[in-house]
Amino acid sequence: MSSIYFLGIGGTAMASVAVALSHSGHAVSGSDTGLYPPMSSYLDTHNIRYFSGFSEKNIERAIPDLVVVGNAVSRGNCELEYALEHRLELISMPELVRRELISGNTSMVVTGTHGKTTTTSLLSWLLDYGGLKPGFLIGGIPENFSLGCRASGMREQGFFVTEGDEYDTAFFDKRSKFMLYRPDIAIVNNIEFDHADIFDSLDEIKKSFRRFVNLIPRNGALLVNGDDPAACGVASGALCPVERFGFGEQCDWSARDISCGGDLTTFTILYRGDPGETLSVPLFGSHNVMNTLAAVAAARHAGVTMESISRALPLFRRPKRRMEITGGLRSGITLVEDFAHHPTAIRATLDAVAALYPGRRIVACFEPRSNTTTRNIFQNELARCFEPASVVVMGKVHRPERYLPEEQLDTALLARELQIRNKTVFLAGTGTEPYPQDILDFFSGALRNDDVVVMMSNGSFSNLKSLFLDNFG
């Protein structure tokens, strides 16, 4: 076994892989800045040694055999410079996963702009319940496992399920991460423009997906969202069997008689028009029906029976920060936390919340943090995606100094457009009150009994959730 040092260990995937390799017997350590729960807690729970902040002394003390370089780490990082100058062996996280975890297993890769974490968690659970003991790498902490990554129980000739991100791999490898995962069975859930820091256009993103599809062997399988023209377009060149899932008549896997009641969404699954089992899953919204269809189709390709799938679905538990619900708060308020950070995902989350809590007022809190939503690329789309909400709280734009003024998201303009749409809007971080205390002060005067507060960010939102629970729990 070797000594492995994770440079940028606080990333969701990096921390998860670090823990998995520690469990496999490797000596694991690492460093990062700005670690926050759940990943800091995850590392602590699994006794992973890590340094807060970067320093040459950190990596010098570790004396690693291998340095895993996170994709957020770039030249100029003092630890990276030390590793280069001392000729330490560097590897990207996806390459490490392929080498150490995927290895001789059947590789199942879940891709798409939205829904990857939920679909990967759900597919892993269906395989696990079906007795296949899959390994997995998930961009979150799935509640059914309490681990973001683990090795396959079969080691070889088993299954490994990977959340396949289209973001780049490392400073020395600009391919999309999913290109490293050697897909045998793949899901393409949807394709939209995102990651404006590395892609110039939707066409550039589709080109990367086409390259990914071209890796699937002829005896593999591609499952594609049949309702998404971009996804179907990249699937058209596949040399393997292709099946479509969705709501359209052209889809091989589809759903009908969809209903939401209590804690479950129930629907009848159809395969090529023939009705099958009635399935129930503790997920909400049409986007999650799509995620479930994709996971079920992939599980069937892995050999899991529909009877097993039917029993497993109601026992699924959502990953953290994917419509994570906290009820029983003061004045009957319900808090929902979600990772949504793209206009399509924001709207899907709010639609699902509106269906789950009919008649209750929705207070949407959004932090523009991603490299796409901090720019004005989605200026118009963001004005439209909050339609189910009555109140919109707009957090501070994360690191706006990265862009020219004319490139930045204009939150003041966005606030005016939302007000025209009859929304009550609070623009945080613009007054004298410290952020995010100004949001809590706004809540104190604005929240009503039985409101549903939805917090959406792909970051910490400056610890807003914990502060909110301290004040309204």
pLDDT in tens, 393-407: 999 998 888 888 888
Supply the mean pLDDT for the chain.
93
pLDDT above 90 coverage of the chain, percent = 77
Query: CA angle at residue 399 from 30 to 417, to 5 degrees?
Result: 140
Composition of the chain by helix, strand, coil, percent to 5: 35, 25, 40
What is the pLDDT averaged over residues 257-285? Answer: 92
Look up residue 364 and give its amino acid.
Answer: A
Q: Which of 59-63, 75-79, 261-265, 345-349: highest mean pLDDT?
A: 75-79
The CATH-assigned architecture of domain 3-88 is 3-Layer(aba) Sandwich (3.40)
pTM over 0.85: yes
Please report the DSSP string for 169-205 in residue order.
EETTEEEEGGGGS--SEEEE-------TTT-SSHHHH
Please determine, looking at this structure, whether the domain spanning 95-315 carries the CATH number 1.20.1730.10. no
Q: pLDDT tens digits, residue range 277-295?
A: 999 999 988 999 999 999 9
C-beta atoms surrounding 76 within 10 Å: 8
Q: Is the pLDDT of residue 441 over 90?
A: yes
pLDDT of amino acid 400: 83
285 vs 98, more confident: 98
Q: Report, in angstroms and rounded to the nearest whole number, the Rg of the chain calculated over CA atoms.
A: 22
Q: Is the pLDDT of residue 328 over 70?
A: yes
Q: Is the pLDDT of residue 53 over 70?
A: yes
Q: How many secondary structure helices (H) and strands (E) does the chain include?
A: 15, 23
Q: pLDDT tens digits, residue range 363-382?
A: 999 999 988 888 888 899 99
169 vs 430, more confident: 169
Name the pLDDT band for 150 (thresholds 50, 70, 90). Answer: very high
What is the pLDDT averaged over residues 95-112? Answer: 96
Quote the tokens at residue 226: 């049949």
HSE-up of 441 (CA within 13 Å, CB side)? 11
Please determine whether the domains at 3-88 and 95-315 fall in the same fold group of CATH. no
What is the pLDDT averaged over residues 44-50? Answer: 94
Quote the tokens at residue 458: 């792909």
Domain boundaries, the chain: 3-88, 95-315, 324-472
51 vs 322, more confident: 51
pLDDT of amino acid 1: 66
d(CA 268, CA 276): 7
Name the pLDDT band for 458 (thresholds 50, 70, 90). Answer: confident
d(CA 67, CA 4): 6
What is the pLDDT averaged over residues 77-95? Answer: 97
Q: pLDDT tens digits, residue range 4-24?
A: 999 999 998 999 999 999 999
d(CA 394, CA 366): 5
Q: Is the pLDDT of residue 155 over 70?
A: no
pLDDT of amino acid 88: 97
196 vs 388, more confident: 388
Domain 324-472 homologous superfamily, CATH: Mur ligase, C-terminal domain (3.90.190.20)
pLDDT of amino acid 371: 81
